[in-house]
A and B are shown apart, each in its own frame.
Chain A
Amino acid sequence: MSNLIKEIKNLPYTAVSHSNMLWNKTGSWRHIKPYYENKIAHCTSRCPCGNNIAEFILSASQGEFQKGYEIIKMTSPLPGVCGRVCYHPCETYCNRGEFDEPIAIQMIERFLADYMSDKGRIIPEIAERKNKRVAVIGSGPAGLSCTYHLALKGYSVILFEAYEKPGGMLRYGIPSYRLPKDVLDREIKDILDAGIELKTNTRLGNDFSLDNLEEYDAVYLAIGSNKSRSLGLSGESADGVFSGLEFLERVNSGEMVKLGKKVIVVGGGNTAIDTARCALRCGSEVTVVYRRSRNEMPAWQEDVDDALEEGIKLVFLTSPTEILFEGGIFKGIRCQKMELGEPDQSGRRRPIPIKGSDFTIRGNNIIVSIGEEPEISFLNESFEVKDKKVVTDFGGFSGVRKVFVGGDLVYKSSATVASAIGSGKSGAESIDFFLRNEEIKAKEEQKITEFEDLNIDYFSPAGKIVLSKSDVNERVKDFSEIVRGVSSEEVIYESERCFSCGLCTVCDNCLIFCPDMAVKRKDTGYEIDYDYCKGCGICFEECPRNVISLEREIKYNGNKRKRKKNK
């Protein structure tokens, strides 16, 4: 350039720049430093199984269903089950819920599991075989999950089950209109195929005791809450009186239980609603009697709605006081009306009887479903027991040598399928630490992306897919599944709605909006050129999904302070 100008004669002297500004390393101006850091999405942080939800939905949105399925399988061996029966706290805490409608996470999980059902067995890589043996007692969700994760870690596992088939409450508690048996069989088979030895019809306490398990290096106890609570009224042994679990077990074993025309179900939990809906499918008219009101019901709200739709009558604020029977045959119950008082320990308002409000409900059968508790008569005194459940440390260790406890048997467990699966996973981790003679570590706290952390300017409203159920008049005739599946197009649409909170999707916003051209592409994602980054924080602000974090740059303030002190 300058040579060219010299050639032109008679041109006045002109100042011409000959080089760029790359020598000016503006990074020295910076006092706040941005850096890339993927964070945990709000939904993921609330998943009791610890499923990496944002990641599997991201894979699903690109049509990579197998990859999405593999991501779920890293944490949960039962996606088809959870995709149907989980109470999906992920959807409750989905950040998109605050924007328009939450993502149908559960349906995406169910789709991925069903999609892969005929594509062969896929489980993550199994670690090197270890010469240690673990006994898992109980093949419910907690036991299955623990077995699976121990097998992945390379341990030899033997699984004990009291009933004829594995699955525990998933098989004998949950009716097949919510969880079809073939889905359960498929997923259990996948777990057992990892080289698990299964011993069915072997009940702890009857067929063996904990002392017989000396040969094993660790024991995982997950027998669940397998005993229905009783009302404590006389006449509970009369003909026509069932306990909730007993009834469900018989129905789920394929038996058409003979019931009378009118059936009374007592209770307000999930078991009560399940028994009521099963009794309806057995051809009876069903009335559910609950001592508090709808707001206090522990049952899943959606199931209660379904039950009402199917024609089940709910009678609130009513408690049975007497079982009426003639000649050993159940005839009805004497009830008392209740009113709600102050909240009790569970935070729900306590029911108080109203004097003189007695009345009678006539019926042919009564099913008592007022809650379950574990059968723990086989436990010796060395276990710390509260509320008929075992107290453990955070890793599931019971305090008794090499015995770990999980699932509903744990004191203060939340008694859901998902939390049982999660408890099985953390139990397997604890057992792994224990067998490697390491201290059981608590999980590190991770940063969570909540709604306020997102830049919602980059998202536009889009409605949730419509989930359809089979016709109410048809579905009460048999036990076939109610909630219909969705197509792959619908799943891709739905997963594209996902904000991918805390997960870099390579959207280029940081690259586009950097005023200093300090963001560079890498193979997957970006890196920051700290020689030039001035630390304005625009990338942090403009990242739609909170992938960039800011931290204060360390400066030489320390020296100054010291000098002042010496003076």
Chain B
Amino acid sequence: MDACYQLRDVSFRYAQPWVLEGCSLDVSDGEILGVVGANGSGKTSLLKLMAGLLRPQKGRVCLHGSDVATLPPLEMARLVALVPQESQVLFPFTVGELVLMGRFVHQRGWGWESGEDLRIARHAMRIMEVDHLATRTFQALSGGERHRTVIARALAQHTPILLLDEPTAFLDLKHQIDIYGVLKELNRERHVTVVVVSHDLNLASQYCDRLLLLHEGRPYRTGPPKDVLTVEHLRVTYGCDVLIDAHPMTGTPRITLPRAEARPHLIPQ
């Protein structure tokens, strides 16, 4: 397996405190890497650094050996598609128009869509089950439908690397496992490398080859889910005790949240 991403000693901050500090990471070609960690542990920043949307103050983010900072946006977008946590569309674009924008890197000049663009966009919409919404405007969709539209756009981009930030947030149960099913299938059939930030430890545990557990801007543990998701590690990084057993179908770690005690006098009378 070749190294796809190489992060060397990457530090990043927006203002004063470091969001990420001394972060080193290798992502192999064709793996599914899950990035987990508590709120504010630097997951989203890490993903944006990998997508080239943020530049580290220290260290280097390399993609296939070249520094992401030196790659022009067009070249970057041919290699990497990013699904952000939230998307806002101000103007009344339809689902079809938005998914077709994923074809930008493959178009030239004035850029009217080719038959190939339409075919791929249509297919991406069918995979994400938004094809029946194609002529609806983005604003008229529910949160989950919007999110699936944005994922469909990333699929239409046809990149060898997919970065996803909380792809299952807003989604109902069926679409949660559907998304991971699609990622798994892309990974197997097209050898797509997937980096997925997730709050859902159970889904990450089931579907990811490897997990990166971030703690206060630093990698705390990296490895297969069964090594990373332990009671001890989660106590340190998330600050709570969880129950862990094996998933009845896959045998991967299954996390169950304990019942929290009522906290008297927390809410003033």
A and B: interacting chains: no
B residues with a Cβ closer than 8 A to A are none
